[in-house]
Amino acid sequence: MISFPNCKINLGLHIVNKRADGFHNLETIFYPIPLSDAVEIITSFSTNGVTYTSSGNAIDGAADDNLCIKAYHLLKKDFPNLPNIKLHLHKVIPTGAGLGGGSADAAFALKLINDKYQLNLSTSKLLNYALQLGSDCPFFIINKPCFASGRGEVLEELELDLSAFKFVLINPNIHVNTGWAFGELAKESDVSKPSDHYKKYIKEIIQQPITTWRENLSNDFEKVVFEKHPTIKNIKEELYKQGAIYAAMSGSGSTVFGIFNKETDLLLKIDSQYFIKEI
């Protein structure tokens, strides 16, 4: 059985405050984008729990750290009769790029195992398992436009349809460490104190005409990331020069996206080595 985990972008992202547990409360809009990896699972008769293979883009880190494998073992604890599997991951979504590709793969692996082996897990139970794998994972269980708060795991579905527009995603092959980005933001402002206005504000902005987003919708990470990596800032500026209605960095970077009218012809002045996808 095979599935195709898609990525997401963040439409605005605000860091609200730092929590007692060391994590940060944030508020953002997750929006699914049809740029997808592929995950295939078949039953294995080997003695190993998971026989893992991959193709496509290189994946950093040890195989045992892969979230798809962790998803299997998480379910195996509660369903000991779950058979051994062969799991193949074909990677298309850039890694460490603010697109949630690893989280998507894990969430889709949970859903795939649930369906293939008829575990009959409800959506709420799948969300619980997903949260154990990472803060972004629950979104991909729902996989619809959502207002996200908390660490990103508190989700509220939104009526938001951007299918009338086209998206351009550009990743300059720069890895931005999320922990570093949070640390730099803490130096810039006092994120230990709560802010009350973001929740209503970001949800109000997203319901306004898209032509108003450029002036009102922002990603807090852009300030510190752009200072360290001017190349990423230049990509955003180039997208606006090409006629983007709205452009922003997704998550903590380094992917930048632009939203365009579908009839817009682009002549991007971008390094040919960058990952560029028009959707």
Question: Which residue in this structure is represented by tokens 């989280």?
Answer: 103
Residues contacting residue 180 through CB under 8 Å, at least 6 positions apart: none
| Exposed / middle / buried, residue 239 (Cβ in 10 Å: 0-12, 13-18, 19+) | buried
Instruction: Kindly report the number of other CB atoms within 10 A of residue 227's CB atom.
Output: 11
One-letter amino acid identity for 179?
A: G
| CA pair distance 114, 137, nearest whole angstrom | 16
**CA 50, CA 68: separation in Å to the nearest integer?**
10
Helix 178-188 × helix 221-228 angle, to 10°: 110
Compute the distance between CA of residue 11 and CA of residue 29 in angstroms, rounded to an integer: 5
Helix axes 123-133, 67-78, angle to 10 degrees: 130
The reply to whether 8 belongs to the active site is: yes
Per-residue tokens: 227 = 């200072």
- Residue indicated by tokens 């892969």: 66
> Per the residue annotation, which of 18, 136, 220, 236 is the catalytic one?
136
Q: Is 196 a catalytic residue?
A: no
Just list the catalytic residues.
Answer: 8, 136
